[in-house]
Amino acid sequence: MLNDRRFAWSKSGSGVGLPRMREPLPRPDVIFTHESDLDGFLSGLLLKRLARKIFDTDVRLEAYHYQGWKQRELREKAAWVSDFSFEPRLDLANWLVVDHHPNETAPQQAKLVHDLTKSAASLVYELCKVYGLQSPALDRLVHLNNISDLFLENDPEFALAGDYANLVKVYNFWNLHAIIGGDVERLLDHPLLEVMAVKRRIEDPIGFEWSRRNVVEISSTVGLVDTVVGNTNLIVHQMLDSKATPYPILITLFKKANAQVIVSLRSRNGEALKIATQLHGGGHPNASGAVLPRSVRNMDDAIDYLKKALNPSARSLSINAMDDLLAGFKVKE
């Protein structure tokens, strides 16, 4: 029986060997995944299909940005999680976490599949293949996702992989889900990829020239890149590679339909994740993100917030100035 397959689970966070068999997969009440990119999209849909295969049930899928995920109360007795960093609050019995982000937590109760060298979708697909869920179309999609998510820029298919990744960025998670009807294979060679290719050829060069001339200093190490057209991630990486600015960390902003402002951070030497953590976000060392507080309603608010959050010396000066002002007043008895 397929649902009798058992696996050896990681207890060190360093990865899990598949398909060694010891414990079965727990039956999930819900599946959680990352809303912001293709890796979360593919890994979440593949986990949903795997649950249907094993347990003959349609498990609810929920997708979150980092901030929403950190605030989400974990009420379920059993769940599967993909493309979110393993952390102590996820170390729960009957929870499965499949991820590739750095972490410092060793699982004691949860089942962890972890490998820094693979995308989350690739790790989920390895589980799927053990249960007989494999096809040439899925092979192709997972391969392209691996190239884009790990930013394997020397791969000959890097540009095409970026077009696939850009589908989630441009059309958003649930819109894309609706377009393909939840059938992930329909993403392969989708007509919208022609739109992505045209945008890459025409918009990216125009966008790069605009953006390199429109950078706002947030701190001595962080620059905010204004973007008008083009693939933001590729433009920012091109700016980092060409050292178009003096800042080792470049950030971009975009506003969701619910008015929340998202920050995307990029670097070349691992600095981005530290800044994302300061903003209560997360991600990879060189590719991270965060959601700003709901009090931040527009881009000007976002710039002010970021400058204060990432310049503690400025906040200190402001407080000292207020103290000096108050000291100038004498209280009459």
The per-type count for the chain, helices as H runs and strands as E runs, is: 12, 11
State the pTM of this model.
0.77
Residue 221: is it exposed, middle or buried by C-beta count within 10 angstroms (0-12/13-18/19+)?
middle
Strands 111-114 and 95-99: parallel
Pair type for strands 60-64 and 261-266: unpaired
Question: Which residues are CB-neighbours of 277 under 8 A, at least 6 positions away?
Answer: 288
Q: What is the chain's pLDDT, residue by residue, as a tens digit (333 residues)? A: 233 343 444 444 444 445 444 468 999 999 999 998 999 999 999 999 999 999 999 999 999 988 789 889 999 999 999 999 999 999 999 999 999 988 888 899 999 999 999 999 999 999 999 999 999 999 999 999 999 999 898 899 999 999 999 999 999 999 999 999 999 999 999 999 999 999 999 999 999 999 999 999 999 999 999 999 888 888 999 999 999 999 999 999 988 767 788 899 999 999 999 999 999 888 888 888 888 998 998 889 999 999 999 997 655 444 444 454 444 444 443
Count CB neighbours of 213 within 10 A: 9
What domains does the chain contain, in order, with CATH numbers? 1-190 (3.90.1640), 202-316 (3.10.310.30)
Where in 60-110 does DSSP place strands (E)? 60-64, 79-82, 95-99
Q: How far apart are CA 8 and CA 101, in angstroms?
A: 20
